[in-house]
Amino acid sequence: MIEIKDLHKSYQIGKNSLHVLKGINFNVKEGELVSIMGSSGSGKSTLLNILGMLDEADSGSYTLDGVPIKNLNEKIAARYRNKFLGFIFQSFNLINYKSALDNVALPLYYQGMKRSERMERSMSYLEKVGLADWASHKPNELSGGQKQRVAIARALASDPKVLLADELTGALDSKTSYEIMDLIQQINDEGKTILVVTHEEDIAQMTKRIVNLKDGVIIDDSPTKQVRAIQHV
């Protein structure tokens, strides 16, 4: 699903150039649940941004579902993001003046889907994350866990190839974190490819494979025995 070869990325800070990614080689197959770990400054967020087409690598190749991702202009990047990727953020990033349902429907709006179809489909995803009764509520009327569920429903709405989650439990207490991870595991069980960036060991243990990043290189990449989050709930 994802193939990355010899990826380099450096940022220019004043006169100094900061080499963040120093040759990343990394593959993800369909249906995997991978966590990317590393301390801050290890380059994990940069890697996720490149995978999310929010940022572009200096060199190296990136292929997503057989499509080479390079020389993107804003228009194509936007279309690919809409088609291939679902984002889940630490701070949820819901639009706070829109209802939960409208938030979920937004990616479908940008796909050009008709309103009635859009609403129907969004509702089914809200049901999936267990928030059908909260469809007309605004984000500020929801708890953190509920907000993250809405965000997950939104990420799923456009039926992307890959879900990218950036510290998705970072703003949640452990109980809620495990509930969210349970949902992520269920979605993965249905066959969705998911990448989770985290620095929490227990969250990483709930994935199927842990990639450890340090100073811009992968120091460890090994499968792990998945801990089912449901045991902790």
Residues forming the site for another protein (CB under 8 A): 49, 52, 54-55, 74-75, 78-79, 81-83, 87, 89-91, 93-95, 97-98, 106-107, 109-111, 115, 154, 158
Of the two residues 78 and 219, which places its CB atom closer to another protein in the complex? 78
Q: How far is the CB of 93 from another protein (least distance, A)?
A: 5
Distance (Å, whole) CA 166 – CA 46: 11
Distance (Å, whole) CA 179 – CA 55: 31
Of the two residues 149 and 154, which places its CB atom closer to another protein in the complex? 154
Q: How far is the CB of 106 from another protein (least distance, A)?
A: 6
HEC states along 150-204? HHHHHHHHCCCCEEEEECCCCCCCHHHHHHHHHHHHHHHHCCCEEEEECCCHHHH
Tell me phi and psi for residue 135, to 5 degrees.
-55, -35
Q: DSSP code of 142?
A: S
Of the two residues 140 and 231, which places its CB atom closer to another protein in the complex? 140
Positive or negative CA dihedral for 33, 38, 42, 45?
positive
Q: How far is the CB of 91 from another protein (least distance, A)?
A: 6
Q: How far is the CB of 46 from another protein (least distance, A)?
A: 10
CB count in 10 Å sphere of residue 62: 20
CB count in 10 Å sphere of residue 145: 19
Of the two residues 82 and 226, which places its CB atom closer to another protein in the complex? 82
Of the two residues 54 and 132, which places its CB atom closer to another protein in the complex? 54
Q: How far is the CB of 54 from another protein (least distance, A)?
A: 4
